[in-house]
Structure 1
Amino acid sequence: MLRDYREEDAEPIVRVALAAFAEFEPHFSDWPLFNANVAKMPQLSRTGEIIVAEDDGQIVGAVAYVGPRAPKPAFFDPAWPVIRMLVVDPLARGKGVGRQLTEECLRRAERDQAAVIALHTTPIMTVALPMYLRMGFARVRDAPDILGVPYGVYVKALG
């Protein structure tokens, strides 16, 4: 079940986000700093909409949808809506949670009458990146590395 974020979701979302990214620890040059940034995920509710995935009353995933013209990193076109911080609890993977969260972001971008939606990701994310490519996202340019890990900007045309 998908629903909008509530303040009381902050702690469970941070727990899911930290668990979701744990497998990537060897890749980042400063893991404590990376984790500190991941733990800020609830702050994305200030400029975007956090969508929560629940299974049997437990939060198993979340994503932030940042709409057109909302503040976002400079490597994105300011007019683009963007998908940020898609996280799925490792114990809930393989059930389509990430795809459902991404599809909800696409619906919100269409609601906002956007021509495209964007995200940034890295090849080390060997489940997320292929899913995005299957869903029609295409790499358009490099994004700044994050703590030694290369990232790219991906865009999907809507409508």
Structure 2
Amino acid sequence: MSDVEIRPARREEFDALGEVTVEAYRIEGFFDTDAAYEAKLRDVSGRAQHAELLVAVDPDGQVVGSVAIVQPGSELSEISQPGELEFRMLAVSSAARGRGVGEALTQAVLARGRELGVDRVVLSSLDVMRKAHRLYERIGFRRLPGRDWHPHPGVNLIAYEYGF
């Protein structure tokens, strides 16, 4: 996406980043199974203490997407192991969907993984987020079924990996 800039998030963007993240998860129906998670998605300041936050901004400076990059063993890590990088909470605003923002953010995560010299990048995704799964598979991620998990009844997370 040539009209979107991907860069580290700035503190003054945290409120907008939280809103975009909540909106993206609401569109996917996530809160139907885990309403309590909304507060965690809005807590960008807390997330920033344990993750690298990337933001996608349009030419007007509006936040249109974001992603959290986490290290194994960190407070936000879910499935990563030593030698891996994990990303979480990939979100794209409804206004920017279909414009390549999700792919640009995912590619930025892969670039960060290459910079850090990790063996692979991993993620968990809600089983019903089919559009995201198609994106990951098109980029080259493969399913990692041995790390699928269920944090709460009715919440089924499936794992993917991208090896370098």
Equivalent residue in structure 1 for 2:117, among 95, 113, 120: 113
| Mapped partners of 2:30, 2:48: distance in 1 | 29
Q: Scaled by the length of structure 2, what TM-score is found?
A: 0.86
- What is the DSSP-based 3-state SS (H/G/I as helix, E as strand, rest coil) of the residue aligned with 1:73? coil
Quote the residue 1:36 is aligned against. Answer: 39
State the match for 2:136 in structure 1: 132
Preserved contact between residue 31 and residue 37 of structure 2 (Cα < 8 Å): no
User: Once the two structures are superposed, what CA deviation does each residue of 1:47-96 show, in whole Å capped at 9, x if it has no partner?
Assistant: 22101100121000000111356444353314311111100001110110
Check conservation: 1:75, 1:143, Cα contact below 8 A.
no
* Corresponding residue to 2:69 among 65, 69, 73: 65
1:37 alignment partner AA: K
Alignment of 1:1-159 (within 5 A): 1-25=5-29, 28-31=32-35, 33-55=36-58, 56-67=60-71, 70-140=74-144, 141=146, 142-146=148-152, 148-158=154-164
* Consecutive unaligned residues in structure 1, runs of 5 or more: none
Change (3 A) 1:68 1:110: farther
Once the two structures are aligned, what percentage of the paired residues are identical? 30
CA deviation string 1:6-60 (max 9, x = no partner): 11111000111111111233773342x0212221244222122101100121000
Aligned residue pair count: 157
In the superposition, relative to structure 1, how do residues 104 and 135 fare at CA in structure 2: closer, same or farther (>3 Å)?
same
Measure the CA separation in 2 of the matches of 1:96 and 1:145: 30
